[in-house]
A and B are shown apart, each in its own frame.
Chain A
Amino acid sequence: MTSGQIEIQLIAVVVAVACALPGTFLVLRRLALVSDAISHSILLGIVLGFFVVGNVNSPVLLLGAALVGLATVVLVQVLERTGLVKEDAAIGLVFPALFSIGVILISRYADGVHLDIDAVLLGELAFAPFDRLEFWGWDWGPVSLVVMSAILAVNVAAITLFWKELKLSTFDPALAIALGFTPALVQYALMGLVSLTAVGAFDAVGSILVVALMIAPPAAAYLLTDSLPRLLVLAAAIGAASAIGGYWLAYALDASIAGAMATMTGVAFALAWLFAPGRGLVAAARRRARQKLEFAQTMLAIHLANHEGRPEAVEESRVDHLDRHLRWDADFALRIVRLAERRGLVASDGLRLSLTQAGRELAADALAR
């Protein structure tokens, strides 16, 4: 691998990890699409910042764009509070408008400058190594890497410092208020982080892929664990893996690196969806098959117990009527009866079933739960 290739992958991994952290909280707080909104409206922020500073590489640009990202969230809330528009509609009103203004401004006033709409959506990761940060006579590496690493550090610091507040306000906002934390403050801080990260990542991967990196790896991790710290670590790891995988996919196909990275996050999610232990589709299917038989036996026991000692027991405990009463087809009914007999739950006199003590206990147990 060339040093350029290594640097690109490094940048990609840093971007992925930096995105996964605030993204996890977005997913948990059901604010996933806010990342979509912010990452689009930042375009306007970058344009406005450019008008103010005149130079595309200024850090002021970063800050300005991040502020516009925050403003997006504020605008959405303002709209929602009028009571005339629902929240999801508000999001869909604000970001296309801001994005449109940004595009129009670029078209009219910034044409021919480095700002390029394609880059906005798609990023230019392939060119990142060429834009280096030279400072104090030292080559610090690609600008993107430096900037993103700084943002990653900020994210890690913020999450560590405000761990308690974040955790509480995400899972129990009512309790948070009662304890004196202001969830609203935490919310805005989180949005600030999201904005900042989105702006930084913009350059490398473009806006749509920021959404992929913020949402898909945490969602995949969400299917794999219940613990918040592990969720964050897993999300970061999956993001990083998708980044590297995406790079090589793009290399093989000679295609957009950012697009490939997004595709890989999708692959990661699909894998989790299918194979997550316990929660995945495969595990669920297997469990259903196994449970169907156990469940049916328990149902049989409860059914018999319910009617035991009562006048209708004579009818209800007939083997050949099980299919009608329990809605099982005859073969299945027979199979269950046989299994239950073998387990010592029921006894059959050829025509009727009766519960054994074990069967009775099983039934009582199941209902006590």
Chain B
Amino acid sequence: MLDLFDDYTLRTVALGSAALGLTSGALGSFAVLRRQSLLGDAISHAALPGVAVAFLLTGSKAPLVLVAGAALAGFLGTLLVMGVVRTTRVKYDTALGIVLSVFFGFGLVLLTFIQRRPDASQAGLDRFLFGQAAGLLRRDLLTMAILGGLALAVMLLVWKELKLLAFDPDFGASLGFPIRALDILLTSLLVVAIVIGLQTVGVVLMAAMMIAPFAAARQWSDRLGVAIGLAAAFGALAGVVGSVLSSEAERLPTGPTIVLCATAITLISLVFATRRGLFWQSLRGRRDRRRLRLAAVLADLLALEEQHPDAGRGHSAAVLSVMSGGALSSLEELERRGYVRRLDADEWQLTDAGRQRASR
């Protein structure tokens, strides 16, 4: 862990991953809220040909150039998705699938085409495919920080407008807000978040970094601001922990490790988060069922008593089991609480307290 402060490469990778986690966690939240979770997947796949074209046109592999190409291609992809959905009967998920795979395929054609060129210059471009966090340089970090910072700043600026867009766009439009333009703005922010993360986790895994943090955060809070803040934190955490783990262990590629960290955070949140968590739900369920069982046995004892007015007589657990299954453990619990008394090995009787309680 201390390596984090000594090792320059690790520091760069960790910071870059944290930046990625922060921005995609925060901005991805809005996509998830709008049921557009997989838009991130489509945008990141669509970004690939942009990288290749940017290189082909400018001959430069400077991060800003490539990222700009990726952003333009990603943005174009979303425009096409919206266009297809609006003008044909093809549905949203199919349109996403088409853009995702076709753009990506085209990107591969370009990449392999570049590869065959005499200057064999494709190296450095295909790290966008799988991410090559270890290849992150200081200048990449700067680009990520600036772009990410800008995107987050814009998000904070138009926070309430984005809330309107996500929750009730029709109402927002009736107030006079340009919902169409806000939609494009949000999409642009998503594009920025994605392209800065591509180099680290790659095209395939980017979707997870936009979805997992918010899926996790949502389990902990019912307030938008807190949830999104948490999502950013979870994203950054996954980024840092993933980078550190990946550098400590052997042959643990960074991208997938970060994603698994994010997924782990999500799973833990789903199970253990207060109130909503599955663990607490099942506990509550068990407690409720137990309460029901105890009440059932008490009621049955009362009914039996009324049927057999002979006050001294007890009833066997076997009879009770017939009436409400598995009565023995319930009887023992009831005895502990003073509602039932044991007359003999298999004879049980209501106490006064028990009688009172059963009559309620």
Contacts and interface: CB of A to CB of B under 8 A. Distances in A.
Interface of A: 27, 30-33, 35-36, 40, 79, 82, 84-86, 88-89, 91-93, 96-97, 99-101, 103-104, 107-108, 111, 117, 121-122, 208-209, 211-212, 215-216, 219, 222-223, 249-250, 253-256, 258-263, 265-266, 269, 273, 279, 281, 284
Contacts of B110: 255
B105 A259 contact: yes
Contact of A89 (B103, B205, B215): B215
Contacts of A208: 45, 100-101, 104-105, 108
A219 B98 contact: yes
A289 to B, nearest CB: 16
A99 B204 contact: yes
B105 A273 contact: no
B109 A250 contact: yes
Given A89-B211, A96-B263, A255-B116, A104 B253 contact: yes
A104 B252 contact: yes
Given A92-B211, A100-B259, A215 B98 contact: yes
A33 B103 CA distance: 15
A93 B208 contact: yes
Given A40-B204, A108-B251, A258 B88 contact: no
B108 A279 contact: no
Contacts of B111: 256, 259
B180 interface: no
Given A92-B41, A223-B90, A212 B105 contact: yes
Given A84-B276, A208-B45, A216 B37 contact: no
12 contacts: A33-B96, A89-B32, A92-B212, A97-B208, A97-B259, A100-B255, A212-B98, A254-B113, A262-B104, A263-B106, A273-B84, A284-B87
B253 A92 contact: no
Q: Across chains A and B, which 4 residue pairs bring their CB atoms closest together, nearest first?
A: A262-B105, A266-B102, A259-B108, A100-B256
Contact of A211 (B40, B100, B263): B100
Contacts of B215: 84-85, 89, 93
Interface in B65-122: 84, 87-91, 93-98, 100-113, 116
B93 A31 contact: yes
A88 B84 contact: no
A101 B260 contact: yes
A31 B104 CA distance: 20
Contacts of A250: 109
A79 B212 CA distance: 13
A44 to B, nearest CB: 11
Contacts of B219: 84
Contacts of B253: 103-104, 107
B207 interface: yes
A328 to B, nearest CB: 25
B162 interface: no
Interface residues of B, number: 61
A96 B259 contact: yes
Given A88-B38, A93-B212, A260-B105, A269 B207 contact: no
A65 B133 CA distance: 29
Nearest to A108: B251
B187 to A, nearest CB: 16
A369 B111 CA distance: 55
A216 B251 contact: no
Nearest to A206: B108
Contacts of B252: 104, 107-108
A99 B202 CA distance: 12
A89 B91 contact: no
Contact of B35 (A33, A35, A86): A86
B348 interface: no
B260 A269 contact: no
B256 A32 contact: no
Interface in B215-258: 215, 218-219, 250-253, 255-257
Given A92-B37, A254-B116, A259-B108, A32 B88 contact: no
A273 B109 CA distance: 23
B53 to A, nearest CB: 13
B109 A97 contact: no
A137 B37 CA distance: 52
A79 B109 CA distance: 36
Contacts of A33: 38, 41, 93, 96-97
Given A82-B278, A101-B260, A219-B98, A91 B105 contact: no
Contacts of B45: 208
B211 A93 contact: yes
Contacts of B97: 32-33, 35-36, 211, 215-216
Given A84-B270, A103-B130, A215-B101, 17 more contacts: A33-B38, A36-B41, A89-B37, A92-B37, A96-B205, A100-B255, A100-B257, A103-B253, A104-B253, A219-B95, A256-B111, A259-B105, A259-B106, A265-B101, A265-B102, A266-B103, A281-B87
B37 A121 contact: no
